[in-house]
Structure 1
Amino acid sequence: MSASAPPRSSRTSSPRDNLRVRDYELAGRFRPSRSVGGDFYDWYGTPDGLHLTVADAMGKGMGAALVAATVRAIMRSVAPQPSIETAFATAARATEADLEQTSSFVTLFHGRLDAATGVVGYVDAGHGLALHVTADGNVTRLKSAGPPVGAWPDQAWAADTVELGPGDSLAIVSDGLLDIYETVEQFTAAVAGVITAARSAEAACAVLLDMADVPEVADDVTAVVLRRTQDRPEQHARPQTTDR
């Protein structure tokens, strides 16, 4: 491997803390297309559960990485705001000037887990690749609430919720993995199959990154999996795919 080639997988754009939330598994992996990339994921614990963010800044290399670092810092700064819609709107306004100056935009998924109920409140700004995979293998792709942050000024994004039952997973993958599939439906089914078969969130992320280790994938690749734990059944029903 040359000195300039990216590693097979990396944690340089990942949170440092090994966050643990009772009755949940959380894992993430990132592989940049260059030595640095515009994808990032982040998470941190809260009194009720956790917050997590997955984002993809337009472009590759140092410019995209700097935009991603700015967005990551701003998303953390709005964490104390109790309303996810208000927090997201505040963060979007704070990033608009920098994004306009660099002619850039960011697709972004931000979620807040209430660990007691399994409910994840989320806002999806142009990401569109978050999947709810149930314990029996059925999958729903969560729809985006609007365009990427920075694509157009004065946008608003509505929050939604998804409930994770025991054995359910929330998987958020960046669009780099889409390059090896002809359709989003094929991508969705493939990711759901990996999540259903994997014995842990960490194992699922590892397989997803391995899938992307092919010449067709020229973009950054990020995978984050949040799983509500239970005893895993030995067999699963045939997965069914739906869009919300």
Structure 2
Amino acid sequence: MTDTVMPRVLIADDQQDVLVALQLLLKGEGISTELATSPGAVLEKVASSSQRGQDYDVLLMDMNYARDTTSGREGLDLLSSIKALDQALPVVAMTAWASIDLAVEAMQRGLGDFVQKPWNNARLIHVLREQLAVGKRKRATRNEMIEARAIQQRLIPRESLQLKNFDFACLWQPAREVSGDYCDVTPLNDRYVSICIGDVSGKGLPAALLMSNLQAVVKANEAAGMSPQQLVTQVNHIISQNVAANKFITFFYGIVDTVEHRFTFTNAGHNAPLLLRKSGGVEFLREGGTILGVLPDQEFTQTTVALEVGDRLLLYTDGISEAVNAAGEEFGDQQLALIGQSYSDFRPTDLLREIHQAVTAFHQQEEQDDRTMIVMQVLPTGC
């Protein structure tokens, strides 16, 4: 015999008789309930349940509490706070003072449905059953996305690593559960190390799936011992045959010769990495060709630059350089270069942290784009 888990509904109202009536009604429907009499109590219960991994299935809440009895503003504020805590929690609002404006704003803030007071029992139970089903689907999707993120994280290199006399640090921070950004640092043999970064157009699961496809194609062609030019040409040919018409990828791929201190690269329409010279100069690595996924027979070129001890290479996606402040100004690659030059004695892990903190302080709002960076530094022999 299989045990059936009772749905859990949190009921929020400042009138005790309403709470008792709703609790009795839902108990008769096989629904477990908990009660709250204020917005603060609601937030505390939702946060506590979430921390224990015992999320509520639905929140049934009044729109008015101590502040006033008719405007619904307290309920709107509570709704926004609830969605910040648990985006997947379905919310049903109850009020005797509903208006079209209130309903529209509540829906915009994530409300699932409205029930008018005094309520009709059959109507209320029908709405709750619908929202229980909605919540179940949302949580299943959320769990799948959490698993997808964990898989993606395993495709990304460790935050820091040292290969021979080269030091690397990586940042991969999705704006959502999963990312369309890709980066990798791979020892090809005892002498050569590949380094790459890419950005798939779009966001969410479609971009993440295309990112995984890119990673698989790159790995398969790396095993064939191709040069950057050959690899990018082959990757573009394959991606162009499989990608949707409105999708594309910016991509940068290079190979470090750890013996001769040379770096050979091909840039396929990606943000130009910054080569910060120990002497203080800055070089933008732009050469290569256009974006991937548009022209299957596109020709690419490769360029080789010499590396000196103390030189650092900054690779990044547009979530770094195109972060926008309140005035609509972009962070920009020049600001990125300035930070790199200002902290010339910082190792890659420390420099990456400084850059990320600077971008976050500049942006000062919820992230809208994925942020990915790789910092490489040439170390003296024996370090």
CA distance in 1, matches of 2:378, 2:263: 11
- Which segment is superposed worse, 52-61 or 204-213? 204-213
Q: What TM-score does the superposition give when structure 2 sets the normalisation length?
A: 0.54
CA distance in 1, matches of 2:257, 2:285: 18
| Corresponding residue to 1:15 among 143, 157, 161 | 157
CA distance in 2, matches of 1:38, 1:82: 25
List, as ranges, runs of 4+ consecutive aligned residues in structure 1 with deviation greater than 3 Å.
1-4, 16-19, 180-184
- Which segment is superposed worse, 165-174 or 80-89? 80-89
1:195 match: 340
- Percent identity, aligned pairs only, is 22
Q: CA offset at residue 16 of structure 1? A: 4.8
2:253 match: 110
1:135 match: 278
1:87-236 equivalence runs, <5 A: 87-99=231-243, 101=244, 103-180=246-323, 187-196=332-341, 197=343, 199-213=346-360, 214-215=364-365, 217-230=367-380
1:30 match: 172
Q: What TM-score does the superposition give when structure 1 sets the normalisation length?
A: 0.82
DSSP 3-state at the match of 1:170 = strand
DSSP 3-state at the match of 1:41 = strand
Given that 1:122 and 1:161 are in contact with CA atoms closer than 8 Å, whether structure 2 keeps it comes out as: yes
Partner amino acid, structure 2, of 1:60: K
DSSP 3-state at the match of 1:132 = strand
CA distance in 1, matches of 2:86, 2:282: 40
| Corresponding residue to 2:182 among 40, 65, 68 | 40
DSSP 3-state at the match of 1:78 = helix
2:225 match: 81
- Which segment is superposed worse, 38-47 or 63-72? 38-47
Given that 1:164 and 1:170 are in contact with CA atoms closer than 8 Å, whether structure 2 keeps it comes out as: no
CA distance in 2, matches of 1:211, 1:144: 28
User: Once the two structures are superposed, what CA deviation does each residue of 1:175-218 show, in whole Å capped at 9, x if it has no partner?
Assistant: 1122246888x733322233230511111112222233232852
User: Once the two structures are superposed, what CA deviation does each residue of 1:70-119 show, in whole Å capped at 9, x if it has no partner?
Assistant: 101111111132432222212221211221x3631100000100001211
Given that 1:19 and 1:45 are in contact with CA atoms closer than 8 Å, whether structure 2 keeps it comes out as: no
- Greater relative contact order (Cα 8 A, min sep 6): structure 1 or 2? 1
User: Once the two structures are superposed, what CA deviation does each residue of 1:37-83 show, in whole Å capped at 9, x if it has no partner?
Assistant: 10110121122131011000000111101101110111111113243
2:9 match: none
CA distance in 1, matches of 2:329, 2:265: 25
Q: Identify unmatched segments of 5+ residues in structure 2.
A: 1-83, 88-149
Structure ID, larger Rg: 2
RMSD (CA atoms): 2.8
